[in-house]
Structure 1
């Protein structure tokens, strides 16, 4: 059995944390998703495994598609992939534009909160 090749020390590799890549490098400096805002409680589901010709997908894009075979909320997807929610939103915008995912936003997330319900909750908590 051949011996393992010697490892080269890199400044960008933290042996405890793994490869260290800044979030702005993953999103190429973008901070907002294309195609509109994405709620963090929205559900994501992959529509296909095939990437469209000309679509330039990063490993994180492929990881999102692989993790979204069943509907999964954006926040759980971010936690599963160990990425920030902001980064995941930008990457989801890319995938949505490419037609590789579809999104479902729960009706409660798209409506503003009912002030009377919020007041009742606060009053109930004060009563405790």
Structure 2
């Protein structure tokens, strides 16, 4: 068992911007490619290969604290081994009233 601070080399924040819990992570690496990363990052890349996982799901899958996963994801993003799609800001989402009207219209059909 390696202590979390050893995995992140003592860092507590990612080098870039913070990751939202619902941001989706996808591996950019083709199948069979082995990047020069540590074992924890290799597990993250393996889990995110072929399907998008949220940052929270990645933390649960690799059984590491969220802060550690964010630092590791920051390193992978800097090395361009992963793609991260940010969630849509609430201001750009449709109004709840409009969605309710759509549901009522569909039910009326």
Question: Is the structural similarity TM-score above 0.5?
Answer: yes
CA distance in 2, matches of 1:23, 1:100: 21
Distance 1:51 1:35, change over 3 A: farther
Q: Which residue does the alignment assign to 1:40?
A: 21
CA distance in 2, matches of 1:27, 1:96: 15
List runs of 5+ in structure 2 lacking aligned partners.
Answer: 97-109
CA distance in 1, matches of 2:87, 2:40: 25
Q: TM-score, normalised by structure 1?
A: 0.64
SS of corresponding position for 2:11: coil
Please report the RMSD computed on the Cα atoms of aligned residues, expressed in angstroms.
1.8
Count of residue pairs brought into register by the alignment? 89
Q: Which has the higher contact order (CA 8 A, sep 6+)?
A: 2
Q: TM-score, normalised by structure 2?
A: 0.74
Which structure: larger Rg? 1
1:96 aligns with 2:63: no
List runs of 5+ in structure 1 lacking aligned partners.
Answer: 1-19, 118-128
Q: 2:43 aligns with which of 44, 54, 63?
A: 63
Mapping of residues 44-123 of structure 1, within 5 Å: 44-49=25-30, 50=33, 56-69=36-49, 70-108=51-89, 111=90
